[in-house]
Chains A and B, each alone.
Chain A
Amino acid sequence: MSLKGAGYIVGAWEHPTRKATDKSVTLLHAECAKGALEDAGLTKDDVDAYYCAGDAPGLGPMSMIDYMGLKVRHMDSTDVGGSSYQVAVGHALQAIATGRANVALITLAGRPRSEGMATGTAPRAGNPAQAEMQFEYPYGPATANMYAMCAMRHMHEYGTTSEQLAWIKVAASHHAQHNPHAMLRDVVTVEDVVNSPMVASPLHRLDCCVISDGGGALIVTRPEIAKSLKRPLVKVIGVGEAAKNPSAGEVDLTYSAARWSGPPAWEMAGIKPSDIKYASIYDSFTITVLMQLEDLGFCAKGEGGKFVMDGNLISGVGKLPFNTDGGGLCSNHPANRGGITKIIEAVRQLRGEAHKAVQVPNCDLAIAHGTGGSLGTRHVGSTVILERE
């Protein structure tokens, strides 16, 4: 059974806050849920399935289901970091297609900025029963240096340059200038990026995403319900998920899990990368974008540096407009997880509701790809392909 078209995204809402000192994480989740339901024209009582991940306080989905007063018959709290929400869309599709759900709510929220979290530069000690922990933690794996090791190897193998990576930030900043909620709204140049302080070589400060509070929510529902609502129809036509890791020592940092999550999504959708009008690509760091573009087939492996240069990702300028809200690099990265905002901006583009300065004309096919975890060790890539009907 193909899942193509089994579900539509009828509600998509992003919290406008970037610093929520006066709100709890649970309240942010609930405000996002309320916003997405209002966007869809549905109510809380219509929800019969709930999906969240590790940013939701409590044991799996239980505390949030309680807090929001939901009554559900299907739930999933698969936590694979920032790509959990792409995974949730795919899992919601399975539940809808098999009659286990009608209206699925997906939420994300967090406040690492208010909590003063050193998100990218401080190694986090985990449970030592997690078998790799004792053999990695002593060496100081943070987030930034794990992605940086991928960038270093990419530069070595393919001649990718810091200036090429910088173009990704430049494109994001061109888009963020139009987003009143974005944390970083100043347009930057390649020189600004490569002259910003080094964080973890070869990644500079401006190669890294922002640390922000906030959140977002999505409503996925079956075709009959979607067509009864008043919103433009955004159909899910492709999904894929895959896990990649250091493979017991056979480490290869030149590609990401997108190499495996992309093909099933493309096959389901029946389209190819050149058909895509708009791409939301997870942007924890500039290198994340470059590798995912290659692995999703937008260009050949090793050609990512050339592909992103000269404004090729800037809406109205280049061939592949990306992250037109400013993305994680400039707008927000709530709960240190950027997956859901990738889907939300793709929905805006397909509805024709992106900012007019960045709206892609006749945008009928979009992709929203996430990477959760660490590109340098273990991570999950998840791909969602959407079509405006």
Chain B
Amino acid sequence: MSFVQRKIPFVGSVETNPETKPFFDGCAAGKLVIPQCVDTGKFIWYPRTISPFTFGAVEWKEVSGNGTIYTFSVMERANPPYCIAYVQLAEGPRIMTNIVDVDFKEVKIGMAVKLKFIDTENGPPMPFFAPA
């Protein structure tokens, strides 16, 4: 089954939540930039600038874009079907995404994946993952 990329929707704009601008600036530059809790060193997903671990400060850091699939599901009722997943980044956090450019029958938990940005229909490019 050849992969068909669905259109990616976005809601609001990059200005909706002003403090998340460094993430969207990163996306525009092809970099995955996410917050890290200064107190604990843990990376935080989804982006926010008050640490949900300590209520302390965060620093924005570029991460490698390497990860593995924690879990996934292929939405076969959709046209075209798509594969939603949580990918565990090499740096730790598990983030919601789609697995793209793949025969869905080949997708497995634990599969190594790498970052790929895809344009959204009415917003910024967003991070997706394809087999490494």
CA gap between A197 and B74 in the complex, in Å: 13
Which A residues touch B2, using CB under 8 A?
none
The minimal Cβ–Cβ distance linking B127 to chain A, given in whole angstroms, is: 9
A126, A145, A146, most chain B CB atoms within 10 A:
A145
Does B46 reach chain A (CB closer than 8 Å)?
yes
Q: Which of B13, B45, B78 contacts A248 (CB 8 A)?
A: B45
> Which residues from 144 to 194 on chain A have a C-beta closer than 8 Å to any C-beta of chain B?
144-146, 148-153, 156
Cβ of A249 and Cβ of B92 under 8 Å apart?
A: yes
A153 and B120 alpha carbons, distance in the complex (Å): 28
Task: Determine if B10 and A149 form an interchain contact, defined as CB atoms under 8 angstroms apart.
Answer: no
Q: A138, B73: Cβ atoms under 8 Å?
A: no
Instruction: Using known A-B contacts A121-B77, A139-B97, A253-B86, determine if residue A129 contacts B17 with beta carbons closer than 8 Å.
Output: yes
A249-B84 in contact (CB<8A): no
Name, among A121, A138, A253, the residue most crowded by chain B CB atoms within 10 Å (CB to CB).
A138
Contacts of B70 in A (CB 8 A): 153, 251, 253
Say what secondary structure dominates the interface of chain B.
Answer: loop
Given A153-B70, A246-B94, the answer on whether A140 and B43 have CB atoms closer than 8 Å is no
The answer to whether residues A248 and B44 also contact, given A137-B9, A137-B11, A139-B96 and a CB cut-off of 8 A, is yes
Task: Give the residue name and chain of the B residue nearest to A133 (CB).
Answer: B11
A250:B94 contact, CB within 8 angstroms: yes
Question: Using Cβ atoms and an 8 Å threshold, which residues of chain B touch A115?
Answer: none
A153 touches which one: B16, B46, B71, B78 (CB < 8 A)? B71
Q: Which residues of B contact A250 (CB under 8 A)?
A: 42, 93-94
Q: Which chain B residues numbered 86 to 117 have a C-beta less than 8 Å away from chain A?
A: 86, 92-98, 109
Using Cβ atoms and an 8 Å threshold, which residues of chain A touch B92? 249
B33 interface hit (Cβ, 8 Å): no
Best-surrounded residue of A200, A249, A251 (most CB of chain B within 10 A): A249
- Expressed in whole angstroms, the minimum distance between the Cβ of B93 and any Cβ of chain A is 3
Least CB distance from A129 to B in Å reads 6
Q: Tell me which residues from 39 to 88 in chain B have a Cβ below 8 Å from any Cβ of chain A.
A: 42-48, 52-53, 70-78, 82, 84-86
**A126 in contact with B11 (CB, 8 Å):** yes
Residues of A with C-beta under 8 A to B85: 149
Q: How far is the CA of A136 from the CA of B126 in the complex (A)?
A: 10
Q: How many residues of B contact A (CB 8 A)?
A: 43
On whether the beta carbons of A140 and B75 are closer than 8 Å, the reply is: yes
B109 and A138 within 8 A (CB) = no
Q: A126-B11, A140-B78 are in contact. Are A148 and B73 (CB under 8 A)?
A: yes
B95: contacting residue among A131, A137, A249, CB under 8 A: A249
Question: Out of B17, B75, B94, B109, which one reaches A251, CB within 8 Å?
Answer: B94
Q: Does A363 contact B (CB under 8 A)?
A: no
Q: Is the CB of B75 within 8 A of A248?
A: no
How long is the Cα–Cα vector from A377 to B46 in the complex, in angstroms?
A: 12
List residues of chain B with CB within 8 A of the CB of A137.
Answer: 9-11
Contact flag A199-B77 (CB < 8 Å), given A128-B16, A131-B17 = yes
Taking CB as reference atom, which chain A residue is nearest B118?
A138
Find out whether the CB atom of A149 lies under 8 angstroms from the CB atom of B72: yes
Do B93 and A248 have beta carbons less than 8 Å apart? Answer: yes
**Given A144-B75, A156-B71, A251-B86, residue A138 in contact with residue B46 (CB < 8 A):** no
The answer, yes or no, to whether A21 is at the interface (CB within 8 Å) is no
Q: Which residues of B contact A201 (CB under 8 A)?
A: 73-74, 76
Which residues of B lie under 8 Å from residue A149 when comparing CB positions? 71-73, 84-86
Residues in A neighbouring B43, C-beta threshold 8 A: 249
Whether A199 pairs with B84 at a CB distance below 8 angstroms is no
Contacts of A42 in B (CB 8 A): none
- What's the least CB distance linking B114 to chain A, in Å? 17
Is residue B8 contacting chain A, with contact meaning CB distance below 8 A? yes
Contacts of B86 in A (CB 8 A): 149, 251, 253
Q: Does A141 contact B84, Cβ atoms closer than 8 Å? A: yes
When distances are taken between beta carbons in the complex, the residues of chain B under 8 Å from A134 are 10-12, 16-17, 20, 46, 123
Name the distance in Å between B39's Cβ and chain A's nearest Cβ.
13
Add 17 more A-B contacts to A138-B120, A248-B44, A248-B45 (CB < 8 A): A123-B9, A134-B46, A135-B45, A135-B47, A137-B11, A138-B10, A139-B97, A140-B98, A151-B73, A152-B71, A152-B72, A153-B70, A200-B74, A246-B96, A250-B93, A251-B94, A253-B70
**What are 8 contact pairs spanning A and B, CB under 8 A?**
A128-B17, A129-B17, A133-B11, A135-B96, A197-B76, A249-B43, A249-B45, A250-B94
Chain A residues within 8 Å of B, Cβ to Cβ? 121, 123, 125-126, 128-129, 131-142, 144-146, 148-153, 156, 197-203, 246-251, 253, 377
> What are the 4 A-B residue pairs with the smallest beta carbon separation, nearest first?
A128-B12, A249-B93, A148-B73, A249-B45
